[in-house]
Structure 1
């Protein structure tokens, strides 16, 4: 393996990352892109921003197939927004016994993110994003 950005990530990890991006791109593509391409004006007015963000996330995940290490922040974003939803929105609804069928479906679809946890090279994430000195400010 060449030195540089992928030098600290094993080849098998690069392939697990690629699988993760593929799952993300295909999952989002099949779930959201049909609604992006065909929707009502009412849907556009109420859910257009959310749908655009998720569709963009899915398209951006395709870059992870070519650049699996450089696109790790995309996976972190995916984990973080889902963790925020589960803790700040779903958990209070659950505690208040206000989980509807629609909310339960959302919780399930968001919870699927747990399959990504073992696929991410956490040692690399820790070294590169938490321990390594950040870029200079000036």
Structure 2
């Protein structure tokens, strides 16, 4: 299941090469869940020296998230997702 989810994210990231600003929320979500998993799950296992091969493999796959904060247009994110007023629900 995890491999399928990561493959789906990869496909969306490839689509993001064509439409980078429209796919930005997917990229932000990927950065969020991978960062949370690395901090909440992988870090305690690593600190307790109980890292197994499958968890280590997942860590390597998730460490690519370290590149994303350098390529995300943070000014655009702030202006369009933080500062901009949301749409009315009804």
Higher normalized contact order (CA 8 Å, seq sep 6+, divided by chain length):
1
Distance in structure 1 (CA, Å) of the matches to 2:7 and 2:72: 22
Consecutive aligned runs of 4 or more in structure 1 exceeding 4 Å deviation = none
Match of 2:44 among 92, 100, 107: 92
| CA–CA separation in structure 1 for the residues paired with 2:77 and 2:26 | 12
Q: Greater CA radius of gyration, 1 or 2?
A: 1
Give 5+ residue unaligned stretches, structure 2: none
Counterpart position of 1:105? 57
Distance in 2 (alpha carbons) for counterparts of 1:66 and 1:103:
32
SS in structure 2 of the partner of residue 134 of structure 1: coil
Residues in 2 aligned to 1:129 and 1:98: alpha-carbon distance in whole angstroms:
39
After TM superposition, the structure 1 = structure 2 runs for residues 8-27 of structure 1, keeping only pairs within 5 Å, are none
Aligned to 2:73: 121
- Aligned ranges for residues 57-72 of structure 1 at < 5 Å? 57-72=9-24
Q: Secondary structure at the match of 1:59?
A: helix
Deviation per CA, 1:74-128: give whole Å up to 9, x if none: 1111101111111110011123221123322322221121112111101111111
| TM-score normalized with structure 2 length | 0.84
CA contact (8 A) 2:35 2:65 kept: no
